[in-house]
Amino acid sequence: MKRALLMLLAAAIVGTGATPTDAEAATKKKAVAKKAVAANKKVQRSAKQARVKQTFGVKSAHRGLSLDDARHLALQSSGVLVQDQTTGAILFEKNPDVVLPIASITKLMTAMVVLDAKPDLSETLVIGEEDVDILKGTRSRLKVGTHLAREEMLRLALMSSENRAAAALSRHYPGGREAFVAAMNQKAQALGLADTRFQDPTGLTAANVSSPRDLAKMVDAAHQYPLIREYSTTSEGEFSIAGRPQHFRNTNTLVKSPTWEIGLSKTGYISEAGKCLVMQAWLNNKPTIIVLLDSWGKMTRIGDANRIKRWVESASLGRPSAG
């Protein structure tokens, strides 16, 4: 009887084409593959980041900043550049030449091109259907038909990163939006921004790209415009939209911080770009440009900015940095 049962069991195993050893091996193989996929997702958030070499190149002799301290900053942004605005000395850099989407950092160039045309800032502009975002489907409190002065549109684009305001500004440019985007790229060339390209005035397209090194130049150029400095650092404001007061806030919470003295600011975000932030700020009573591209996590770009601030302030005093 026992022999018959064993023969039946063997036949069943042969019939399935598997052995207990084969089944165990298959299960183990699947488990290993699953772990490998999970590990890969953790290391590579996207194909774009996989192509970015995470390297540090720090030049800090001009401020006496410590290279060892800089390596402990543990910044989460993929592309970083910190520069002394007065001397041009690079205080810290991480992938300074990597070309990445810049999202709404674009609006700094938008503002410069608008102001270069010397338009009537009091002229009333109207939000049209052409200004509605059909690429990302982002929302806006500026309904189609909203009337605002060009100056208010510019303030909203810089302070609150209002996409429809930026789109309307470009559409009311001499020659229309196509001429406006051409002027953006011409301005980039004039500033020597070799890695920078624009296809729209809002930054909603991932085709708007630049590098940290280029953006430091762009921030320095934008800082020469008093209205860009004022509007980009205004913490909040009230606007009359369709006859009703609407409150808007700055997308960079640091402009309200008593520990920061910020002379220019712009945030940016689309999924392809991650969280971005550029600023001109005074650190140790010196004007400093900070560029942070492709941060991930809601507060990471703010955290990176604060880590940089602590590092510059502590390293210049000869104390260990609080990375």
pLDDT at 296: 80
Alpha helices in 223-320 (DSSP H): 226-233, 300-316
Check which CATH number belongs to the domain holding 260 and give it.
Answer: 3.40.710.10
- Structural domain includes residue 20: no
- Structural domain includes residue 40: no
- Structural domain includes residue 189: yes
- Structural domain includes residue 219: yes
Region 176-189: mean pLDDT is: 98
- Residue 87's domain comprises 52-316
**Between 105 and 37, where is the model more confident?**
105
Query: Per-residue confidence at 299, pLDDT binned at 50, 70, 90?
Result: confident
Catalytic residue numbers, as ranges:
104, 107, 161
Q: Is the pLDDT of residue 280 over 70?
A: yes
Count of the separate structural domains present in the chain: 1
Report the C-alpha gap between 101 and 302 in whole angstroms. Answer: 19
Query: Per-residue confidence at 28, pLDDT binned at 50, 70, 90?
Result: low
- Structural domain includes residue 197: yes
- Structural domain includes residue 33: no
pLDDT at 13: 42
Specify whether the CB–CB gap between 250 and 233 falls below 8 A: yes
Which pair of structure tokens corresponds to residue 163?
Answer: 């996409």
Q: Is the pLDDT of residue 262 over 50?
A: yes
pLDDT at 74: 82
**Between 323 and 285, where is the model more confident?**
285
Alpha helices in 191-299 (DSSP H): 212-222, 226-233
Report the C-alpha gap between 323 and 306 in whole angstroms. Answer: 9
- Structural domain includes residue 254: yes
DSSP 154-217: HHHHHHS--HHHHHHHHHTSTTHHHHHHHHHHHHHHHTT-TT-B-S-SSS-STT-EE-HHHHHH
**Least confident stretch, 72-81, 140-149, 181-190, 218-227:** 72-81
Entry pTM: 0.79
Specify whether the CB–CB gap between 240 and 318 falls below 8 A: no
Percent over 90 (pLDDT), the chain: 71
Report the C-alpha gap between 62 and 81 in whole angstroms. Answer: 15
- Structural domain includes residue 38: no
pLDDT at 314: 84
Instruction: Give the 3-state secondary structure of residue 288.
Output: strand
Residue type, 30: K
